[in-house]
Amino acid sequence: MFDPTVYDNLKVALENLIYDLDNLDGRVRVADRTDRLEMSVLSRTFAIRFHLAERPAIMARIGLEATLRDLAAEILEMPGEPPACALRVSFHLETDDIEPACSSIASIVQEVWGAALSPRLRLSFDYGQPRPRYRVAAELPFDRKINEDQMEDLSDLVDHALRTLERLQEDIGEV
């Protein structure tokens, strides 16, 4: 019988939390879901993108990644290699005015997630447009991997993502 990995268990828990917010509570709408097995390097990636209900301009993305090393360490029970996977959280929006938007994003993330967590902001735009719209991706740097010991923390993580979306909506609005 299939024995689920830490990655599988965290993925199911995270997926359930967010789909409950969509289907049962109606607070969010799931916009996209990725569940990928990368055969060339034998890694797994799960990501779910969502936005506040009726407010699709600002998206949150929460994902998990398990490398071959992560999966092998767990399946082979390698000593000194605790089973774990990487957590990825980011927020995405478009804006015409990057300075105030980026400043607000950085402040809001630190306000909601804590002063020690400074987001990495990435900007992109379509070259040649007379007045470009900038796509902003704010990635939160989690420097450690997570495992089933953090299972109970997933609901707090999703709550933080919701608070961030709400604060971004208040400060930046319909961008």
pLDDT of res. 130:
85
Name every residue whose Cβ is closer than 8 Å to that of residue 13 and which is 6 or more positions away in sequence.
151, 154
H or E stretch covering 136: strand 134-140
pLDDT of res. 1:
43
DSSP assignments along 3-40, one per residue: ---HHHHHHHHHHHHHHHHHHTS-SEEEEEEEEEEETT
Give the tokens for residue 56.
């699709």
Profile the chain (175 residues) by mean pLDDT over runs of 10 residues.
85 97 96 96 96 95 96 91 95 94 95 92 92 94 93 96 96 69
Rounded Cα gap, residues 156 and 152, in angstroms: 8
Rounded Cα gap, residues 74 and 6, in angstroms: 8
Give the tokens for residue 5.
């990995």
pLDDT of res. 116:
86
- The DSSP secondary-structure symbol of 132 reads P
pLDDT of res. 174:
55
Domain boundaries, given as residue ranges, for the chain: 6-172
Q: Does the predicted TM-score (pTM) go above 0.85?
A: yes
3-state secondary structure of 131: coil
